[in-house]
Amino acid sequence: MATVKLLSDDELSSEARAVFDDIRKVRQSDFINNFWRALAHDPKTLRRTWESLKEVMGPGTLDPKVKEMLYVAVSVAHGCSYCIHSHTASARAKGMTAAEYGELLAIVGMAAETNRLVTALGVPVDQAFLADAAD
Amino acid sequence: MATVKLLSDDELSSEARAVFDDIRKVRQSDFINNFWRALAHDPKTLRRTWESLKEVMGPGTLDPKVKEMLYVAVSVAHGCSYCIHSHTASARAKGMTAAEYGELLAIVGMAAETNRLVTALGVPVDQAFLADAAD
Amino acid sequence: MATVKLLSDDELSSEARAVFDDIRKVRQSDFINNFWRALAHDPKTLRRTWESLKEVMGPGTLDPKVKEMLYVAVSVAHGCSYCIHSHTASARAKGMTAAEYGELLAIVGMAAETNRLVTALGVPVDQAFLADAAD
Amino acid sequence: MATVKLLSDDELSSEARAVFDDIRKVRQSDFINNFWRALAHDPKTLRRTWESLKEVMGPGTLDPKVKEMLYVAVSVAHGCSYCIHSHTASARAKGMTAAEYGELLAIVGMAAETNRLVTALGVPVDQAFLADAAD
Amino acid sequence: MATVKLLSDDELSSEARAVFDDIRKVRQSDFINNFWRALAHDPKTLRRTWESLKEVMGPGTLDPKVKEMLYVAVSVAHGCSYCIHSHTASARAKGMTAAEYGELLAIVGMAAETNRLVTALGVPVDQAFLADAAD
Amino acid sequence: MATVKLLSDDELSSEARAVFDDIRKVRQSDFINNFWRALAHDPKTLRRTWESLKEVMGPGTLDPKVKEMLYVAVSVAHGCSYCIHSHTASARAKGMTAAEYGELLAIVGMAAETNRLVTALGVPVDQAFLADAAD
């Protein structure tokens, strides 16, 4: 599979190499996963995506583990198998327990079910849920 | 909108009324949102959905606020406007701050972007991310 | 809403009018719903879509009511509110009972839930389910 | 693939074993497909999902074959390859003919096409399709 | 994978063979990709799909390369791996450069991100964007 | 609708105001659409999103009109009504003709149909479409 060849370290442009260097530094690991090797054909998108990811997934208010779990939840809903595998691995690396993973899965499945019931029924939003009402 | 009439308390079957009673008891609030009023036409699905939701969203390992944020993330990815509004309201009621909400949105958007890049490129899953490798 | 103006009968090109005439004849009703009025800006797509729909939804092996229920199920999964409303109305007009509608909704929701669990877990297809195995 | 190891019969907890026993009894077959083996890590979700599925897909008003076809349609729209394979196999086992399968596919494709046209054009729902109008 | 066997040229019905002949003639190539070999079980859908595709992707106003890029974009958003691979190959065959492909990917990812932010926030459509306002 | 209040110019933080100033300068228009007014609650995401959008949709290899049409196509597939309306308006402002719009819609619909047929049939990717084969 893949619509592009995954670039090895030897095949990188200098701009792409600089991004790989930063990924290795920030993650304190030599491992570069396939996503970045596929993106490396376009150093501009590689850089912009990495810079955004670093900002979004970096230190903030939410627990890093929770951030990865949110990433998994969205990836499941989008059906992105690669993303599910990589972020499930990250969530585990950041401390997600088997019990937490079980609850994550249960919520993702439950939300899918109620989302479809709501959509099928065309349920109108309650006034109480609108931003103005909350103010 | 709506493909069914939303049932008022006066229009409920006795089975549906029993579910409404339990919702009110568990939530300690008299307010029943439109989702349940639409589902009430089919007491069997109303009951099963409520029992599942109570189990999935009830006490467990994850913070109730985090559970609601995961629900919002999935609902956004599915494009269910009603669900987004109701669970955003719930997450706020359970303590989600503006900063946490900002991070949630940023992750949902970022995951959508990288999900599509990965999918477009057909990136193969790294061996390191497979369950067997993790063992 | 709408990104184009809905065309009234007076605003139709002759090609679009011919399609409207056929819709009215086949459906034995003067009512033309908004979808066709929006498509009428492009008579070529209007004609091709109507001809395909007529072939796909016309007499065949499956019960016309079941066909409409399948259409609703897909429209729910795609989150197309208009399509859900129009095909739910069609399914009812073709005899879908409240009990059948309840079962349809329950299946759509249940499938959404298990679909997401399967996707999250990356469950590999059992050999028994492949076409070759079935032969 | 898979984000968890598929559990063999020897690796089940007693709660998971009890669910597997019921699946075998209800289906009158010794075969347990991979979905349940992946879910078995979380006996609570395993049990709840099986109980719901048994209720939703069990005897009711709709033909069991039609129920499986609706399941396939939703699974296609969600892009769940495993679910498509397993429920297409089930639909065939319950009597879906090649002609019925052809019509199912044609409807799923057609609905996808018109769903996107409607969404692109932002077509407003006709008054005639609202629940109140139908009453 | 596959829920049906892919038909070889020797296994075609005469109706399916006629469609394959036309595909070969129009494309001026002997190669028939798997999609058509899977559809060939249902000559009616095979024919209708090919006739529609020929009309939609044939000569018109838009550059053939742009048409294929639009096809790729939609296929990515739907998560159809086969379609992404086949239409990316077609777009390249019709002249899509690496730079254009890079821009296509960037837009697809960016649109996914803003789509989700908008959906999460429930942003109401500006009056200026409605068709009536544009007139 | 909306899960947050849309901020008026008077309610902006200084960071958000700086982004609005840049939007007005780049677009050479005083009009700020609702998306940015909703995002303005979180100046960090507002800034990052605007900077990315400026880079992705700015001058490059593809025609600006084609870029907007790709944006529309993705937004339709994601069912984001706001995004469809805003980018259809942008595409028209950048020269998209009625004929081009008709072809865009036809491709989006056609791709949706074949995407679902392919997914339903589980069609395996032809060797000829893989990146390695193309090399």
pLDDT tens digit sequence for E47-65: 999 999 999 999 999 999 9
Angle subtended at Cα E122 by Cα E118 and Cα E127, rounded to the nearest 5 degrees:
85
Map residue F97 onto helix, strand or coil. Answer: coil
Q: Output phi, psi for F6, to 5 deg.
A: -80, 125
Distance from CA of E59 to the nearest CA of F (A): 10
Check residue F132 and give its pLDDT.
67
Map residue C57 onto helix, strand or coil. Answer: helix
Q: Which of A61, A73, F62 is nearest to B87 (CA)?
A: A73
Q: How do residues F100-120 score in pLDDT, each as one tens digit?
A: 999 999 999 999 999 999 999
Q: Which of E21, A110, D98 is nearest to B70 (CA)?
A: A110
Which chain B residues are within 8 Å of E125, Cβ to Cβ?
none
Q: What CATH number is given for B7-58 in this structure?
A: 1.20.1290.10
Residues within 8 A of F (CB atoms), C 101-120 only: none
Look at D3 and A84 and tell me if their CB atoms are within 8 Å. Answer: yes
Nearest CB to D115: which of F112, F121, F122?
F112
Q: What CATH number is given for A10-58 in this structure?
A: 1.20.1290.10
A132 has a pLDDT exceeding 70: no
- F81: contact with C, CB 8 A cutoff: yes
B76 has a pLDDT exceeding 70: yes
D134 has a pLDDT exceeding 60: no
C6 burial type by CB count under 10 A (0-12 exposed, 13-18 middle, 19+ buried): buried
Q: How do residues B31-53 score in pLDDT, each as one tens digit?
A: 999 999 999 999 999 999 999 99
**Which CATH number does the domain C60-120 belong to among 3.40.50.970, 1.20.120.140, 1.20.1290.10, 1.10.287.3510?**
1.20.1290.10
Distance from CA of F81 to the nearest CA of D (A): 7
User: Which position has the token pair 């390859």?
Assistant: D81
CA dihedral over C94, C100, C105, C110, signed as positive or negative: negative
d(CA A123, CA B82): 7
d(CA B115, CA B93): 30
Alpha helix (H) ranges present in chain C? 14-27, 34-39, 43-57, 64-78, 81-93, 98-121, 131-134
Q: Are C122 and D39 in contact (CB under 8 A)?
A: no
CB under 8 A, 24+ apart: contacts of C65-70: C65/C91, C65/C94, C65/C95, C65/C96, C65/C100, C66/D66, C66/D69, C67/D103, C67/D107, C68/C94, C68/C96, C69/C96, C69/C100, C69/C104, C69/D66, C69/D70, C70/D69, C70/D70, C70/D73, C70/D104, C70/D107, C70/D108, C70/D111
Look at A119 and C85 and tell me if their CB atoms are within 8 Å. Answer: no
Structure tokens at F90: 């942008």
Check residue E2 and give its pLDDT.
87
C95 has a pLDDT exceeding 80: yes
Look at B120 and E81 and tell me if their CB atoms are within 8 Å. Answer: no
For testing contact with chain D, the best of F70, F116, F121 (most D CBs within 10 A): F116
Which chain A residues are within 8 Å of D3, Cβ to Cβ?
84-85, 88
Structure tokens at F63: 């025609």
d(CA C120, CA D3): 8
Distance from CA of B89 to the nearest CA of F (A): 8
Which chain F residues are within 8 Å of A44, Cβ to Cβ?
55
The mean per-residue pLDDT over the stretch A39-68 comes to 98
A135 has a pLDDT exceeding 80: no
Look at C44 and E52 and tell me if their CB atoms are within 8 Å. Answer: no
Q: How do residues A71-89 score in pLDDT, each as one tens digit?
A: 999 999 999 999 999 999 9
Q: What CATH number is given for E8-58 in this structure?
A: 1.20.1290.10
A108 has a pLDDT exceeding 60: yes
A49 has a pLDDT exceeding 90: yes
Averaged confidence pLDDT in chain B: 96
Domain B7-58 identical in fold to domain B60-122: yes
Nearest CB to D104: which of C35, C70, C120?
C70
- C131: contact with E, CB 8 A cutoff: yes
Check residue D133 and give its pLDDT.
52
Check residue A131 and give its pLDDT.
82
Check residue D132 and give its pLDDT.
66
A134 has a pLDDT exceeding 70: no
Classify domain A61-121 at the CATH topology level. AhpD-like (1.20.1290)
D135 has a pLDDT exceeding 80: no
Q: Are E4 and E35 in contact (CB under 8 A)?
A: no
d(CA A83, CA A101): 16
**Which secondary structure element, helix H or strand E, spans residue B133, and what is its range?**
helix B131-134
Look at A113 and C109 and tell me if their CB atoms are within 8 Å. Answer: yes
- D22: contact with C, CB 8 A cutoff: no
Provide the percentage of residues in chain F whose pLDDT is more than 90.
94
d(CA B88, CA A111): 13
Which chain D residues are within 8 Å of A98, Cβ to Cβ?
41-42
Check residue D2 and give its pLDDT.
87
Nearest CB to E111: which of F6, F62, F75?
F75
CATH 3.40.50.300 correct for B60-122: no
Q: Are F121 and E3 in contact (CB under 8 A)?
A: yes
d(CA A128, CA B85): 9
Residue-wise burial string across B76-110, b where 16 or more C-beta atoms lie within 10 A, e elsewhere: bbbbbbbbbbbbbbbbbeeebeeebbbbbbbbbbb
- C85: contact with B, CB 8 A cutoff: yes
For testing contact with chain C, the best of A116, A117, A121 (most C CBs within 10 A): A116
Q: What is the architecture, at CATH level 2, of domain F1-58?
A: Up-down Bundle (1.20)
DSSP B28-87: TSS---HHHHHHTTSHHHHHHHHHHHHHHHSSSSS-HHHHHHHHHHHHHHHT-HHHHHHH
A1 has a pLDDT exceeding 80: no
**Which secondary structure element, helix H or strand E, spans residue D21, and what is its range?**
helix D14-27
Check residue F131 and give its pLDDT.
84
For testing contact with chain C, the best of A72, A74, A76 (most C CBs within 10 A): A76
Chains touching chain F through at least 3 C-beta pairs below 8 angstroms are A, B, C, D, E
F2 has a pLDDT exceeding 50: yes
Which chain F residues are within 8 Å of A48, Cβ to Cβ?
52, 55-56
Chain D CA closest to residue B132: D5
Nearest CB to C116: which of A108, A119, A120?
A108
Q: What CATH number is given for F60-121 in this structure?
A: 1.20.1290.10
The mean per-residue pLDDT over the stretch B64-82 comes to 98
Confidence of residue D69 (pLDDT cuts 50, 70, 90): very high
- D71: contact with C, CB 8 A cutoff: yes
What are the sequence ranges of the domains in chain C?
A: 12-58, 60-120
Residue-wise burial string across D31-50, b where 16 or more C-beta atoms lie within 10 A, e elsewhere: ebbbbbbbbbbbbbbbbbbb
d(CA D128, CA A27): 58
Which chain F residues are within 8 Å of B109, Cβ to Cβ?
45, 49
Which chain D residues are within 8 Å of A109, Cβ to Cβ?
45, 49
Structure tokens at B28: 């300690």
Residues within 8 A of F (CB atoms), C 27-56 only: 41-42, 44-45, 48-49
d(CA B114, CA A35): 9
- D83: contact with C, CB 8 A cutoff: yes
d(CA B121, CA A12): 17
The mean per-residue pLDDT over the stretch C13-17 comes to 98
